[in-house]
Structure 1
Amino acid sequence: MRRLAASAAALALGALALTGCGSSGSSQSAGAKPELKVSGGYVPQPAMDDMAAGYFTVTNTGGADDQLTGVTSDVASDVTMHRTQSNAMQEVKSFSVPAQGKLVLSTGGNHLMLMGMRKKPTVGEKVSFVLHFAKSSPITVNVPVEPATYRPKG
């Protein structure tokens, strides 16, 4: 009986050791969390009164992936997320924010569409966004309204 218990304990320890070495297809460790920071945000002054676009970068320096699952704004009744592929805009429900990576929203690529504008923002004003994530707490950012021709450096 004692030998059976010792064998079972050895098997359990071996299984634990193998579990620690196993690959789940991800480099994320069990206690890893996303660590998010938003930068470079702006809204080009819209040409129309009822719609605008929004851009920013979310950098994740943490050890776990996250997802941007929604955005709200003080100037629009609805904010949707869009992916641009082959010159076609497609609404998406979320964007991935990879561990040790970035989510970039930019002209001609992934972006926000602000619909049902309460007031047309003008150059020099700020627009507030609340970014909602699958794992992380919401992040509020205030971004400047830039001229329609603005293109960020770098």
Structure 2
Amino acid sequence: MNRITLVRRGFVALALVSLVSLALVACGDDDDDDGDSNGGDHSTGSATIGDIAIEGAYARESVTDVAAVYMTIKNSGAADTLLSVSADVGSEAQLHEVVDSSMRQMEGGIPIPENGEVTLKTGGLHVMILGIEGGLKAD
């Protein structure tokens, strides 16, 4: 099973979001400069750890060595911060944001407001997985 690990302030929360269950898709074109090579419909994965719920997590199939992961992070508790991510596919995973049509790695993490949510989506905040041998393919 492929996992993405989310590190929060206060403790480590393992979001066991299987990239296999994210139903990677291979249809349509994607004009974003975020490592995605294809767009289209997708099904999603979810996980809950304490006050944090990951919903609608998905990645698109990629023929390159990078892929973006999107999700909504819901917090039913005190304000928190997503500090880092890791994945057991690829050589590295990073928190990224798109500002003025330019993608860059996040500094200081992603704040998750008290009793609020943050959406990681195309053209904004996202998880970037780097160094994926042979790209990311649907099973």
**TM-score normalised by structure 1 residue count:** 0.54
Using structure 2 for the length normalisation, give the TM-score.
0.59
Q: What residue in structure 2 maps to residue 121 of structure 1?
A: 136
| Identity across the alignment (%) | 30
Distance 2:134 2:89 in 1: 6
Count residues in correspondence. 89
Which structure has the larger Rg over C-alpha atoms? 1
Q: Which runs of 5+ in 1 are unaligned?
A: 1-33, 126-154
- Is the contact made by 2:63 and 2:136 (CA closer than 8 Å) also made in structure 1? no
Give structure 1 regions of 4+ aligned residues with deviation exceeding 4 angstroms: none
Distance between the aligned counterparts of 2:133 and 2:63, measured in 1?
A: 15
Query: Residue 41 of structure 1 contacts residue 54 of structure 1 at CA under 8 Å; is this kept in 2?
Result: yes
Q: Which residue is equivalent to 2:62?
A: 46
Q: What is the SS of the residue equivalent to 2:131?
A: strand
Gaps of 5+ in 2: 1-49
The answer on 1:65 being equivalent to 2:79 is yes
**Aligned-pair RMSD on alpha carbons?**
1.5
Counterpart mapping for 1:60-99 below 5 A:
60-62=75-77, 64-93=78-107, 94-99=109-114
Q: How much has 1:47 moved relative to structure 2?
A: 2.8
Normalized per residue, the structure richer in helix is 1
Does structure 1 residue 102 correspond to structure 2 residue 133? Answer: no
Task: Assess if the C-alpha contact under 8 Å between 1:82 and 1:91 holds in 2.
Answer: yes
Amino acid of the residue matched to residue 90 of structure 1? R
Q: Separation in 2 of the partners of 1:118 and 1:96?
A: 31
Q: Deviations over 1:100-120 (max 9, x none)?
A: 111110011111111111453
